[in-house]
């Protein structure tokens, strides 16, 4: 069932609006700093909006509705991991990163603490992580548009990706943040409106709960139900750590005008995420009652088409596209900046001037964009791809980076520069082995085994090498000045 002409017109207006913002931002971009960190000038309102719009993407909308539809409200407890993670980052980590004046990417942070080997390993892994997560967003774009327009899934996936690639390529971080502000408002209003209309049509929230209980009581079990303890721990840790300090958030903390803006923008989002999670759960439960036996990834769009009035359908689909495109554009820009700053600028063309870095960042935006489309067509599940990638991020780069940032002052290095690389490699390899080869024996989640391995290797290496300081790490210390609020 395709949507009405009015709703389709609203979607087209939204897509044209994002392209116009890209064109408008392009005229303001004159340097690599503009394109990568918006010249470090973003106020609280825009930082809050861009963090929220980035974190609430295809996985957090289409994917999470499917998660509730397939599993039940136990998902809510697992998703509290996102809230806890963002609160901790907002109070303790984001302000420290914001005060590091010369930070553009995760590679800059890892080079300061762990030298060139830490920088190159983390940059390559972060680059691949970004391509995979962009694939999640592209896949969600196709799932949203497929029942709306009626064209083949692959065709719509490519069309949605091209629009996202176009405005990101044109305006870089400036375009990403400006569109995030518009997309956040549209997303919040549309999803909340859809949930309220759905509950009213069902006869109230009590009636929704009664019908779910009659259909499948396990969907209302807050802890347990279809999940074993091991499954819950794995999901909770994936949401707690899977996107924590991911490369695209590092870029946002660096784009903030002050450290306090990074702090409160992140904290405010954490509180807002509780509301959003409840709204998503309501839609998933309604879908379970009204559309039993369907593919979870299409429940959200089916709910909109079958359950919402004309005009509101266009609003919701615009919100869903906003959620996916805002996250996709953020990831796309971050991946391009990582390649240009950490790989091209440090190993291919060390003397590249600013205009060359800007040019190569735009080239890479196109390459990563099409790479993400290929990834999205390879793995068919939005939530499956997202959770898999999260399980690889948390046991690899996250533990060494978090320890290094939190241990000591803003520009103080207390960790051994040799401790990061072996911990990253060990954690990543053990996680893949435990998950894909051994298939999580004894019910122990792979993410737990990977994190423990990472920390053990990190601790042993630190103790053995804490008095050895490579010369190039000392040079990096001099480059890392602080911003003053």
Closest CA to 233 of 456, 444, 450, 88: 444
Q: Is residue 40 part of a domain?
A: yes
Average pLDDT over residues 120-142: 78
Is residue 452, in this structure, part of any structural domain at all? no
Q: What are phi and psi of 223, to 5 degrees?
A: -140, 130
CATH number, position 35: 1.20.1730.10
Contact 378, 142 (CB under 8 A): no
What's the residue count for the chain?
485
* 338, two tokens: 């990582």
Q: What residues have CB less than 8 Å from 361, skipping those under 6 apart?
A: 32, 35, 36, 172, 336, 337, 339, 340
- Note whether residue 145 is domain-resident: yes
256 three-class SS: strand
In whole angstroms, give the CA distance from residue 40 to residue 5: 42
Q: What is the pLDDT of residues 149-177, one digit of tens each?
A: 666 667 767 777 788 888 888 888 888 88
CA–CA dist 400, 427 (Å, integer): 10
Give the count of alpha carbons within 13 A of 29, CB side only: 30
Closest-CA residue to 281 (of 60, 56, 87): 60
**Average pLDDT over every residue of 398-412:** 85
**pLDDT above 80 (res 16):** yes
**In terms of Cα–Cα distance, which of 77, 374, 125, 91 is closest to 240?**
77
| CA–CA gap between residue 158 and residue 372 (Å, rounded) | 10
With beta carbons less than 8 A apart as the criterion, state whether 38 and 178 touch. no
Number of separate helices (H) and strands (E) present in the chain = 20, 0
Would the pTM of this model clear 0.75, i.e. be above it?
Answer: yes
- For the beta carbon of residue 214, count every other beta carbon within 10 angstroms: 9
DSSP bridge partners of 42 = 256
What percent of the chain is modeled with pLDDT above 70?
86
Rounded to an integer, what distance in angstroms lies between the CA atom of residue 256 and that of residue 100? 11
**Residue 22: closest CA among 172, 167, 183, 177:** 167
Residue span of the structural domain in which 183 resides: 5-93+119-380
Q: How confident is the model at residue 482, as a pLDDT?
A: 42
User: Are the C-beta atoms of 396 and 431 separated by less than 8 Å?
Assistant: yes
Residue 59 DSSP label = I
Q: Point out the least confidently predicted range of 11-25, 109-123, 131-145, 318-332.
A: 131-145
396 belongs to a structural domain: no
Of residues 121 and 478, the one with the higher pLDDT is: 121
| Residue 186 near residue 53, CB atoms below 8 Å | no
Residue given tokens 């005229």 in the structure block: 27
Cβ-based neighbours of 299, under 8 Å, separated by 6 or more: 65, 66, 69, 283, 284, 287, 291
Look at phi and psi of residue 110 and say left if phi exceeds 0, alpha if psi is from -120 to 50, else beta.
alpha
Instruction: Answer whether residue 377 shows pLDDT above 60.
Output: yes
Identify whether 394 is part of a domain: no
DSSP string, 197-251: HHHHHHTSHHHHHHHHHHH-GGGG-SSSTT--HHHHHHHHHHHHHSSTT-HHHHH
The pLDDT assigned to 484 comes to: 36
Q: What average pLDDT does range 227-237 have in this prediction?
A: 77
Tokens matching residue 306: 């079958």
Residue 256's beta-bridge partner residues? Answer: 42
Residue the block writes with tokens 């931002």: 25
Please, how many CA atoms are within 13 Å of residue 159, restricted to the half-sphere of its CB?
Answer: 16
Using CA atoms, how far apart are residues 85 and 259, in angstroms rounded to an integer? 18
* Res 176: pLDDT: 84
Mean pLDDT of 285-314: 81
Mean pLDDT of all residues belonging to the chain: 82
| CA distance linking residue 400 with residue 456, whole number of Å | 11
Contact (CB, 8 A) for 92 and 259? no
CB atoms within 10 A of CB 69: 27
Question: Which residue from 375, 106, 64, 71 is spatially nearest to 239, judged by alpha carbons?
Answer: 64
Tabulate helix, strand, coil % of the chain (nearest 5): 80, 0, 20
Whether residue 388 is contained in a domain is answered as no
Give the pLDDT score at 149: 65
C-beta separation of 138 from 161 below 8 A: yes
Residue 176 CA to chain centroid, in angstroms? 14
For residue 220, being part of any structural domain is answered with yes
Q: Is residue 465 part of a domain?
A: no
Number of domains in the chain: 1
Residue 422 has pLDDT above 60, yes or no: yes
pLDDT at 384 over 70: no
């Amino acid at each position: 069932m395709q949507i009405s002409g009015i709703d389709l017109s609203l979607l087209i207006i939204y897509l044209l609006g994002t392209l116009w913002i890209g064109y408008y931002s392009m005229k303001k971009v004159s340097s690599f700093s503009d394109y990568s960190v918006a010249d470090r000038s973003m106020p609280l309102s825009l930082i809050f909006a861009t963090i929220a719009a980035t974190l609430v993407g295809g996985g957090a909308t289409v994917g999470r509705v499917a998660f509730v539809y397939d599993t039940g409200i136990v998902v809510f407890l697992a998703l509290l991991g996102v809230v806890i993670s963002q609160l901790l980052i907002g109070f303790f980590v984001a302000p420290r990163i914001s005060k590091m004046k010369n930070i553009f990417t995760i590679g800059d942070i890892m080079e300061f603490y762990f030298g060139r080997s830490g920088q190159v390993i983390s940059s390559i892994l972060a680059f691949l992580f970004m391509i995979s997560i962009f694939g999640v967003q592209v896949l969600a774009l196709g799932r949203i548009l497929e029942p709306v327009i009626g064209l083949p899934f692959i065709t719509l996936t490519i069309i949605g990706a091209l629009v996202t690639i176009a405005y990101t390529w044109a305006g870089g971080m400036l375009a990403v943040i400006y569109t995030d502000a518009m997309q956040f408002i549209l997303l919040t209003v549309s999803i909340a409106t859809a949930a309220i209309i759905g509950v009213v049509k069902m006869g109230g929230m009590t009636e929704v709960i009664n019908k779910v209980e009659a259909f499948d009581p396990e969907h209302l079990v807050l802890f347990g139900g279809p999940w074993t303890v091991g499954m819950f721990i794995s999901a909770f840790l994936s949401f707690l750590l899977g996107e924590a300090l991911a490369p695209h958030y590092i870029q946002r903390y660096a784009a903030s005008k002050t450290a306090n803006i990074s702090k409160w923008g992140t904290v405010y989002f954490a509180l807002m995420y509780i509301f959003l999670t409840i709204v998503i759960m309501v839609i998933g439960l309604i879908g379970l009652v009204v559309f039993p036996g369907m593919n979870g990834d299409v429940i959200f769009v089916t709910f909109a088409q079958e359950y919402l009035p004309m005009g509101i359908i266009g609003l919701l689909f615009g919100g869903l596209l906003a959620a996916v495109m805002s996250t996709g554009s953020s990831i796309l820009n971050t991946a391009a900046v990582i390649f240009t700053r950490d790989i091209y600028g440090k190993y291919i063309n060390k003397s590249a001037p600013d205009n060359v870095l800007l040019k190569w960042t735009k080239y890479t935006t196109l390459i990563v964009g099409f790479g993400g489309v290929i990834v999205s067509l390879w793995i068919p599940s939005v939530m499956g791809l997202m959770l898999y990638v999260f399980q690889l991020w948390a046991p690899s780069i996250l533990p060494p980076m978090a320890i290094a940032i939190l241990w000591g002052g803003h520009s103080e290095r207390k960790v051994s520069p040799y401790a990061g690389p072996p911990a990253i490699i060990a954690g990543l390899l053990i996680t893949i082995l435990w998950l894909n080869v051994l298939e999580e024996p004894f019910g122990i989640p792979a993410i737990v085994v990977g994190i423990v391995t990472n920390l053990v290797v990190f601790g042993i290496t630190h103790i053995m090498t804490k008095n050895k300081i490579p010369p190039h790490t000392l040079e990096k210390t001099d480059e890392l000045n602080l911003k003053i609020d």
